[in-house]
Chains A and B, each alone.
Chain A
Amino acid sequence: MNRHKKYDPEDIESLLLNKRFDELYPEEEAFVLEHLDSPDEYETMRRTLLELEQIDWSENQIQPRRDIRRTLLAEFKSERRGGFVFWLNSLFAMPESGRWYQNRGLQLALGLLIIALISSLLLFRPTPGHHLADRSPEHSNAERTVEPISDSLERLDLSNAIAENNTAAAKENAEEETHDLRLDLTARRDQNKDMALETEITTTTSADDLLKEDSFAGVAFDDAHLKISEQADEIQSVALDNLADYTAPQVTIQNQNAESTVTYTAPLSTTNVYVTDEMYGNTTQERIVLSEVVVTEEGADLFEPANPFAEGVSLKMYKSFVDELYTSR
């Protein structure tokens, strides 16, 4: 039975190759005779098949032409390199069409130029924090050192500041105030030399916070006896109990009650404003009383240690702003 299983009964080829007709099992004979006419035909087919098996097919075979191999390999390698072949010597060659804009070199150069222009525009495009960024060195200098009052006063340019005023009367008034102030400050400089306030304000904010500063509404001075100008372009009087916002790189504060005006170099805003004992000294008693409450509540520690406004000007909004951005030493 095992021998019978070795052959596929449906595969006559196997039977033909392995068995003579007289060696077939009855069921194999029956199967074979379903497809072949007679045992003789089986035997002739078997001989043919055996003859086929003996054929050496490698004899008289044709060989592939050698040039085909070379051609195919060259084609394969060129295929591997990809379809884009770029010859340097053809870079600036004039195209056959004679059209200059088809010159590869020119196209390449124009492409690079466009890329460079776009890149430069993107790199140097102004941003919302641009002004802050530009002024940062100046800003940091102003933050680090608050000049002594004596030096600051020397930089007063009240004439220019007042010249920006809308009224001639104000201009005259400012000139008078300047003159008086100079006289007064000069006199006091000698007396209070040792008292000159040197306040160093250091920033505790990051660059991101500085951007916020720019968008911050500014500093409000809730005091009628301060006059603030922004970059000396405009002078505004702050009415009593009127909260107004100011942001400017340079702020001039004029204490009308004290008849004094001080221009502060505050690169970013009035956050760098510092107040002097000179102003304190010229503040009227009335205003001192008016301001005491506010200062006590919110701004008493702003200008320590000298704190010239202990009984002086209230900077209500100013304090909250400064609290947010700066730490007073």
Chain B
Amino acid sequence: MALLGKTYHTFSDEDLMLHVAAKDSKAFAALYDRYSGRVVNYFHRMLWQDEELAQDFMQELFMKIVHKPELYQQGRPFKTWFFSIANNMCKNEYRRREVRKGTANELPEQVMGESGLGIESNVDHTEFRARLNEALEELDEAKRSVFLLRYEQDMSIKEISEALECSEGTVKSRLFYTLKMLNSKLKAFEGIGAMLIIMNWINEWI
């Protein structure tokens, strides 16, 4: 079937991947445009918000698809497969750093230096998010990946379980304890945050 460039955007991820396996460069470009932004930010959050590292990891991940598209198992949802590879790359990086530095989940000093859960005066969503990012950095890799896949990548419990190759119950459990932990971390922010939410609601009603 002859395909026009325009039609690639209507293709499912799985169809695009089949064309990639058939050495269709336009399909590869469409797939890249669809996922590069998402995955580079995933790497960014998973890898200590190191942008260079995230860019490198994103390139490495797509390079795997270039050289070994046959690794994709036909019939499996592309998104979960794709993020499972991304997650495994992060795991490997954690292990590598653990060996090198002798400490797991060590954070870059500048990140820790900037952190601090003190109450700020100009609290808003952006501030909440900044605090959240800091709190996320303190999570272990498993909980952080569940959280990011759930809320940032908007994946379902089932998709996350496939991507992380664990049961749905495990995903739910991790998600719950992550929320609980974040809740405790963000408690200092709670009052102001709650006030902000109430103000938003009031604004919506008005």
Q: Closest Cβ of chain B: how far from A14's Cβ, in Å? A: 10
B179 surroundings in chain A (CB, below 8 A): 13, 16, 45, 48-49
Which residues 133-158 in B have Cβ within 8 Å of A in the complex? 151-152, 157
Residue A62 CB within 8 A of the other chain: yes
B183 touches A72 (CB 8 A): no
Bitwise interface map of B from 34 to 63 toward A, beta carbon under 8 Å scored 1, else 0: 001100110010000001001100110011
| CB < 8 Å neighbour of B183 from A10, A45, A68, A77 | A45
Chain B interface, >50% SS class: helix
Residue of A with least CB distance to B33: A69
B41 touches A13 (CB 8 A): no
B36 surroundings in chain A (CB, below 8 A): 64, 68-69
B187 touches A10 (CB 8 A): no
Tally chain B residues at the interface, Cβ within 8 Å. 41
A76 touches B28 (CB 8 A): yes
Residue with the greatest number of chain A CB neighbours at <10 A, chosen from B63, B66, B126, B187: B66
The A-B contact count (CB < 8 A) is: 102
Which residues 123-143 in A have Cβ within 8 Å of B in the complex? none
B59 touches A44 (CB 8 A): no
Q: How far is the CA of A50 from the CA of B198 in the complex (A)?
A: 11
Chain A interface, >50% SS class: helix
Known: A11-B172, A51-B193. A80 touches B25 (CB 8 A): yes
A16 surroundings in chain B (CB, below 8 A): 179
A212 surroundings in chain B (CB, below 8 A): none
Known: A44-B183, A57-B151, A62-B44. A79 touches B23 (CB 8 A): yes
- Hey, which bits of chain B sit against chain A, CB under 8 A? 23, 25, 28-29, 32, 36-37, 40-41, 44, 51, 54-55, 58-59, 62-63, 66-67, 125-126, 128-129, 132, 151-152, 157, 172, 175-176, 179-180, 182-183, 186-187, 190, 193-194, 197, 200
A54-B200, A68-B36 known, 10 other contacts, Cβ within 8 Å: A11-B172, A16-B179, A41-B183, A45-B183, A57-B41, A59-B126, A60-B126, A61-B41, A62-B55, A69-B32
Listed A/B pairs (5) with beta-carbon separation below 8 Å: A51-B125, A52-B151, A57-B152, A61-B41, A64-B37
